Structure 1
Amino acid sequence: MFSIGYCCLLALCGCTLAYIEIPEAYLTAIRQDRADEQAAGEYNYDEQGDDWTGTCQSGENQSPIDLIYEDSKIVAIPRLRFNYYDQALQTPLVITNNGHTANMVIPQTRGGQRPSINGSLLPGNFEVQSVHFHWGSRETKGSEHAINFQRYDVEMHIVHKNTIYDTMGEATMHPDGLAVLGVMFRAVDRQTSQHYGLNKIFNQLPRIVQYGSNATITGRLTVGQLLGNIVTGEFFTYNGSLTTPDCAEAVTWTVFPDVLDYPRRQIAKLWNLRDSRQKPLIDNYRSIQDTNNRDVYYRTIQ
């Protein structure tokens, strides 16, 4: 590890000069994530993605979709296994406003492991890569998936890569490349929250209002804390796509129907972010896509 002025090194705006210690491997991952985001090209949510081209327009296995319990196949599915999700991550972590969302690349744990998931219907072992959010506005709900025709205030995505692929770019080229966990947030009027990990992220949002700005998160944080107190034993799972260009059909989705209650005052911090055009970064969700007769499975707790 070494000391850097990370605001200068990453050439990000909107932050004050600070010298902190960040491992070179984490810096490399942040740079790669930024490069992957830029490779997607310019896009916005003015039409909720309906104007996106390429696979976004022509794909047959696109996401998000409306997840309907009565239309799902309720079958015996192995439980989803969380590995090293309870282990503290190396800190500081860096959260960035990339113009489309608040995004945080996730490093290894302090013990050097990378948190991962397997089991369920996942075609392999998937290491966590990043977490980001989709939201609406003061007037609109902003989750991407709907559950039984209902949409929620925020949807958090925890993105994982199949360990058989070296990079995210390579993984997006294969149908078994990625696995994403979708968690719904419901805005509630209570002022305080016991969701310690999420609070550490949302408390930094006022520091990343401007496009390209970033902030650091210190102290103890685990990936498992991001799940709050939701029940992870019940979930929908199906084969779909990324919900941002180029909408690669490489994702095994796991979306939990249990909803996390979170203070409205915290969620409201998302509405203040700005995109690359200096416009309010709101309603950053893609419209519901056709299921096209895909199988959607539902796991119940036995």
Structure 2
Amino acid sequence: MDPNHWATQFPKCGGLRQSPINIVTSKVHIDIALSPFNFIGHTDTINMTVENKGHSAHFALPPSVRFIGGALPGHYRAAQFHLHWGGNGRPGSEHTIDGERFPMEMHIVHIKEPYSSLAEAEHDTAGIALLAFLFEFPTSGHNKLYSVLTLLLSLSHEGSTTVIPNFRLGDIIPAAKDLQGYYRYVGSMTTPGCEQAVAWTVFHRKLAISSRQVSKNK
């Protein structure tokens, strides 16, 4: 279904706080209350299950992967992460910065404790926290991410799954100390039902992905 028509079936998709957005840097307000993050479990080694959800692949994360800080209340445990990229050589990030769209975007979905599901958390305006990372093309790609993207080729059918052994989230994203700058706004999930209970964090720092890695998984 065309996203422009989501609201006919999912009324929340017609809300006033819908994501993604274009971040206009000239209109951004500096908030000194936006504190650093403290990542927990990002260096733990896990066997990660990946499932083809039809519209994307979801990489399941254990509840031991979590964070505190970032000017958000309480502890947030990870549920999954997923990727957005374009086809036919087009950039595919969901968020844009001053109108610029980036090659790829990664979202790590977290649920505020003690909620056990997104359905429970959506009733809290800070119940869901999404950490967003934008990717750019450098001279070479991210080797650890390459192995993740390569496995996506085996997930050709909706509902199919595979396992990535010996995975560490810290091999893909930088340590929290290297992610001091970020944008924060309150918005929604970017797929139906578009729950408007998401505290979005879009990090300033861009991650590396080569054009070969992205094209390999179209």
TM over 0.5: yes
Aligned alpha-carbon RMSD (Å): 1.9
Number of the residue aligned with 1:157: 107
Number of the residue aligned with 2:142: 193
Number of the residue aligned with 2:90: 140
Structure 2 CA distance, aligned partners of 1:86 and 1:125?
Answer: 18
Structure 1 CA distance, aligned partners of 2:187 and 2:149?
Answer: 28
Structure 2 residue matching 1:174: 3-state secondary structure: coil
Is 1:105 the counterpart of 2:105? The answer is no
Q: Contact (CA 8 Å) 1:162, 1:179: kept in 2 or not?
A: yes
Is 1:184 the counterpart of 2:184? The answer is no
In the TM superposition, what is the alpha-carbon distance from 1:128 to its structure 2 partner? Answer: 0.6
Structure 2 CA distance, aligned partners of 1:199 and 1:135?
Answer: 14
Aligned length: 213
Is 1:96 the counterpart of 2:33? The answer is no
Deviations 1:86-119 (A, max 9, x none): 2222x2x2111110101111125xxxxx121121
Following superposition, which runs of at least 4 residues in structure 1 exceed 6 angstroms of deviation? Answer: none
Number of the residue aligned with 2:29: 73
Structure 1 residue matching 2:123: 3-state secondary structure: coil
Higher Rg: 1
Matched-pair identity in %:
30
2:5 to 29, 51, 55: 51
In the TM superposition, what is the alpha-carbon distance from 1:138 to its structure 2 partner? Answer: 2.1
Q: Contact (CA 8 Å) 2:150, 2:217: kept in 1 or not?
A: no
Name the amino acid aligned to 1:258.
Answer: R
Name the amino acid aligned to 2:172.
Answer: L
Q: Say if 1:269 and 1:172 are closer, same or farther in 2 by CA, change over 3 A.
A: farther
Structure 2 CA distance, aligned partners of 1:267 and 1:139?
Answer: 8
TM-score by length of 2: 0.90
Q: Contact (CA 8 Å) 2:42, 2:169: kept in 1 or not?
A: yes
Structure 2 residue matching 1:218: 3-state secondary structure: strand
Describe how 1:202-221 pairs up with structure 2 within 5 A: 202-219=149-166, 221=167
Structure 1 CA distance, aligned partners of 2:107 and 2:26?
Answer: 24
Structure 1 CA distance, aligned partners of 2:142 and 2:108?
Answer: 21
Number of the residue aligned with 1:127: 77
Number of the residue aligned with 2:169: 223
Q: Contact (CA 8 Å) 1:82, 1:116: kept in 2 or not?
A: yes
Name the amino acid aligned to 2:5.
Answer: D
Q: Contact (CA 8 Å) 2:89, 2:215: kept in 1 or not?
A: no
Number of the residue aligned with 1:23: none
Q: Contact (CA 8 Å) 1:135, 1:270: kept in 2 or not?
A: no
Number of the residue aligned with 1:10: none
TM-score by length of 1: 0.66
